[in-house]
Amino acid sequence: MVYIPESNLPNLAKHQFKSTGYSALDNVLSRFVWEPFVLLFPSTLAPNLITFIGLIFMIASYAIMLPFDQTFTKEPPSYVLFFAAFCEFMYQTLDACDGKQARRLKLASPLGMLMDHGCDSLSCSLIIMTLVQGLVLGLSNDVLVLFVVIQTGFFLTHWEEYHTHYHRTQMFNWGVTEGQWTNIILLILSGIYGASTWQMVIYGYRIETFLIYGNMSAGILISTLMIFTTLGKVKGIQPALRLIPMALLNISLYYWFQSELIVNYAPAVLTAHGLIFAKLNSKLIICSTATMKFGWFDLDIFVEFAFVLQATYLKVLPSEVSFFLFFGFITLRYLNFVFSVVGQLADYLKISVFSVK
């Protein structure tokens, strides 16, 4: 299946990435960590391969926790938490260095940009799952809201870029880098002092409550500002309609948290939801860079919405059997989307994906 019409492919080559500027931490890390680090890479190391290796580290940060718990209620060993923190550090570092390697070798391309943002879209859910497991936050309604706020904020970043042609990298000197370093520090502290530290009570509230609600408040504030800023610049109802897919995803996640499946299959449920979320963001990014229309209808989102309602209320089919059919369907759809887009762009640009010619 071809996702990008041939008439829109030239727009990818013309696209120029414009950002709102970088935070103070971005500038410090770029000068003292990322730029020296990229000089260690051989000239034969393809930028896209750096992006992919970074994704492997991000997957490993959560995968290493799976043998110890799948319910987000049991604390992993300290060495697992330290390794998870290291993996997230490597993911962030490689994610920052792939573009620098591309410019260093003069291999910057639309494919590299889309792979970078696509891996970020996939990593968003993994970052939350790693943090929730590392701090043993469970699957409460507070954690549900945490998922909703972080994923919605990530989506709105690209939704805003689609309409304004500027990618918001930070606001109030706080961006993705600061959030990732917060997660890394929290995982290290959990490894040193134990996850029970976050259950300590201060002023009548547990520390985890301050962490969760602090993150929620910041996310809601930033998301609200992005929505009002974008709707103030772009007239008409279309920008608001393009928020429907993310709203349906959030409603589906709410029903997932009410279902019995989340109790026994939480990692699989959140992974399936994360794949749909990643595909939605990737499609939005492609539409933004290729100057394509981004519609509000998305088959995978409606399939998830219908399935979770069936599994929670109708229960016509056995939940476990139907869920794994759903999981397989979503996984195959996501992989087909990725391979189709990457293959199409590699053929059009006449470049190799993971090697330097």
Residue type, 134: G
- Report the mean per-residue pLDDT for the chain: 91
pLDDT at 126: 96
pLDDT at 192: 96
Domains defined along the chain, listed by start:
20-349 (1.20.120.1760)
pTM for this predicted structure: 0.94
Is 346 within 8 Å of 353 (Cβ atoms)? yes
Give the residues of the chain that fall short of pLDDT 50: none
Encoded tokens for 221: 């504030």
pLDDT at 1: 67
d(CA 200, CA 207) in angstroms, rounded, equals 6
Distant-in-sequence, close-in-space partners of 166: CB < 8 Å, separation ≥ 6: 18, 19, 20, 160
Q: Would you tell me how many other CB atoms lie within 10 Å of the CB of residue 146?
A: 21
pLDDT at 96: 93
* Consecutive H or E run containing 206: strand 205-206
DSSP 75: P
Percentage of the chain beyond pLDDT 70 is: 100
CB-based contacts of 347-354 (< 8 A; 24+ apart in sequence):
348/9, 349/13, 349/109, 349/110, 349/111, 351/107, 351/109, 351/111, 352/46, 353/46, 353/48, 353/111, 354/46, 354/48, 354/49, 354/52
